[in-house]
Chains A and B, each alone.
Chain A
Amino acid sequence: MANFDFLSISPDLVLIAFAVLFLLMGSFSRTPGVHNYNMLSISAFSLAILFNLLLFGSKRFGFYDMMLYDELAGIFRFIFYGIGIIVSLMSDPYIEGKIKHKGEYYALIILSIVGMSFIATSYDLIMLVLGVEAMSLSVYILAGMFKHDEASAEASIKYFLLGAFSTAIMLLGIAFVYGTVGTTNYSLIVQNYNKYLHGGIQTGIFLFGVAAILAGVLFKIAAVPFHMWTPDVYEGAPTSVTAFMISGVKAASFFMLIRVFLIALKVAVFNFVDIMVFISIITMTLGNIAALTQRNIKRMLAYSSIAHAGYMLIGFVALNKTGLAAIVFYLIAYALMNLGAFAVLVLLEEKGKDLEHVSGCGFLYPFLGLMMTIFMFSMVGLPPTGGFMGKFYVFKGALEAGYLWLVIIAVLNSAVSAYFYLRVLVYMFFEKPIDAGGALRTSSATVTTALVLTSVGILFLGIFPQFFFEITTKYMTYLP
């Protein structure tokens, strides 16, 4: 089946071409400082979206069954490219003057998204590992791009060492799976499992492999036993990069979880439901409780991202159509609200990183105050925002699967989370400003565009949730 289907990877080819162009522009241009890299990268992502739109709706195997492009992979490609556009919009004023290699910065963001896109279309564990490596390696470098900031360097090295270790564990798991079923192709794994291993005591070593793969994936998701790196890395990395990690890398990792465990390893997934219930509960509880005591807003959002991972894992515990489609919906809302909140932080960072420093900013900058209100309401899960509908659908899926007590724990958790999300708004609106207002140095039209896009997206998801949820339900064809 030598089907060299170049059309199905055309968005990735476009993006790689643009990334190489950025690298060459940095070295061959006579005036390297003046290029509008962000506009170029936005046009790259727009082109990729266009190509993906042409492909959408078809189901294609390609390159000796190394990849499978289906509708859900298409939806996730749209999510990744959209995240790329918003991150490009908010990066430029923030990294101006702090990063000398702007071309490399955008090239790495693009290449990381290429890696995510390969994860989304992978149909072989080898392609999956390469996608994960391309995605994570770029992010390790991006996290250390502020070379004169010690926290940034620390974040980079910490993420790199722990991430490399987690990838090694995942590779070990893949080796065990290969050793027992003799293949890395998703559909052949299921076939060979049924042929060689079904119903015997021989599944032990296969299950060990699956568990190691699960550990690698949960590390990327930042679920609790593997969450230690999250606060330091998210706090230390440049804010625009944190926004990218918290939305893009997490979306890709969740799709990796769904795709690998519901296509290739669906034979073993029910063995892990009990563990996942446990992980989901401690993830959201620990994330929320740790976030309560944080004064640094970025660190608070890092712990909140752990808690959100816990909510999303409920959908994976439910393992039914509603729950899994709800994860996709939740991921879109979650990416939008985090990108928005970080875009506000990008602007306010010159004031300082702690809660005290944003005192009174809500009235000094009414637009930013309004935006932050929308994003924080969405994080708590208040209507009419996307965060509310995401939680609603996830809980609905869990209820359909009969996990009433799990939903009760999750609702209690989100009640706890209201305290630290709304505290940001309390500081912004009810505390006295520490200094006079005046225009923010980093404010620019591109960040404002990013803010408008994300807030409109969140309100749209909250007011007309049916539109997206029907699409995700329709295309959620991976079922155990």
Chain B
Amino acid sequence: MIQEYLGYAFSFLAVVLAISTIIQKNPVYSAASLIGVMLMLACNYVLLNAEFIAAIQVIVYVGAIMVLFVFVIMLLNIEYAKREKLYYRGRIFGVIIGVALLLKLLIVGYSMAIKIQQGDLPVPKDLDSTKVVGKYLFSNYILPFEVISVVLLIGIIGAVVLGRKERPNGEQKEEVVVKTIGSTH
């Protein structure tokens, strides 16, 4: 029972921090709030007996992705984002859609009871969650696991191709012309 209340508490904090992520004006505070959201989600995973996912959540999101965010904020040297002007135009429309979606989810969520207790894949009782994930990753989910390598390869190609500095062909020629003129004088 205490687990249920803790779950609600963590979820509530996650929602509050998520709202804070959006409305903070200083991007560093936004990033810090987002770290809080990730930590609250990790706590919820622990309550759901998924310790491995919780650890991965903290390592990947808090440890890697958020650090990257903060680095970018530092390098770009943004102090205050001008959000009001950016999002003003569609705000009313967005609020209406958002509230409608929220109401729909609340109504649907309260009017139903989910009958299933757990997923279709059996979870062996004697294994901890890390072993269960490993077992299924390398048996039932072996094909998706391998296909992810293709997706990651595409990501790497994109980073290299789009990130590399390139000079347009015309510019190089101009430089050559300038040099020859300089040498003749």
Contact = CB atoms under 8 A, between A and B. Distances in A.
B155 A137 contact: yes
Interface in A7-42: 9, 16, 19-20, 23
Interface string A77-119: 0000000000000000000010011001001100100110010
B153 interface: yes
A145 B161 contact: yes
Given A66-B143, A100-B166, A148-B168, A204 B120 contact: no
A111 B154 contact: yes
Contact of A107 (B121, B151, B157, B166): B157
Interface residues of B, number: 36
A184 to B, nearest CB: 9
Interface in B97-121: 104-105, 107-109, 111-116, 118-121
Contacts of B113: 202
Given A104-B161, A183-B119, A201-B112, A16 B143 contact: no
Contacts of A130: 144, 147-148, 151
Contact of A141 (B116, B140, B151, B158): B158
A178 B119 contact: yes
A108 B157 contact: yes
Contacts of A19: 153
A203 to B, nearest CB: 8
A19 B154 CA distance: 10
Interface string B149-165: 01101110110111000
A437 interface: no
A367 interface: no
A208 B148 contact: no
Nearest to A107: B157
A141 B161 contact: yes
A358 interface: no
B143 A179 contact: no
A23 B157 contact: yes
Contacts of A23: 157
Nearest to B147: A130
B147 A137 contact: no
A264 to B, nearest CB: 14
Contacts of B105: 208
Contacts of B109: 205
A140 interface: yes
Nearest to A181: B116
Nearest to A1: B140
Interface size classification for chain A:
35 or more
| Residue from B107, B114, B139 whose CB has the most chain A CB atoms within 10 Å | B114
Interface string A190-215: 00100011000111110010000000
Contacts of B114: 179-180, 202, 205
A218 B154 CA distance: 24
Contact of A182 (B108, B112, B116): B116
A130 to B, nearest CB: 5
Contact of B166 (A108, A144, A147, A196): A147
Interface in A121-135: 124, 126-127, 130-131, 133-134
Contact of A2 (B112, B139, B160, B169): B139
A100 B114 CA distance: 55
Contact of B153 (A111, A140, A147, A182): A111
A141 B157 contact: yes
Nearest to A206: B112
Nearest to B121: A183
A145 B105 CA distance: 41
B71 interface: no
Nearest to B159: A141
A67 interface: yes
Given A204-B108, A205-B109, A188 B139 contact: no
B142 interface: yes
A168 B143 CA distance: 22
A27 B158 CA distance: 15
B8 interface: no
B69 interface: no
Contacts of B29: none
A138 interface: yes
A64 interface: yes
A97 B148 contact: no
B12 interface: no
B120 A183 contact: yes
Given A66-B143, A66-B144, A147 B112 contact: no
A430 interface: no
A185 interface: yes
| Residue from A114, A141, A201 whose CB has the most chain B CB atoms within 10 Å | A141
Contact of A185 (B115, B120, B147, B154): B120
B115 A202 contact: yes
Interface string B71-89: 0000000000000000000
A94 to B, nearest CB: 16
A1 B175 CA distance: 65
B162 A144 contact: yes
Interface in A21-79: 23, 62-64, 66-67
Given A111-B153, A202-B115, 20 more contacts: A62-B143, A63-B143, A66-B143, A101-B161, A104-B157, A111-B150, A115-B151, A118-B147, A131-B147, A134-B151, A137-B151, A141-B154, A148-B168, A180-B114, A182-B116, A196-B115, A201-B111, A205-B112, A208-B104, A208-B108
13 contacts: A20-B153, A127-B143, A127-B144, A134-B154, A141-B157, A145-B161, A182-B120, A183-B120, A188-B120, A192-B116, A203-B112, A204-B111, A208-B104
7 shortest A-B CB distances, which residue pairs? A204-B108, A141-B158, A63-B143, A183-B120, A202-B112, A182-B119, A182-B116
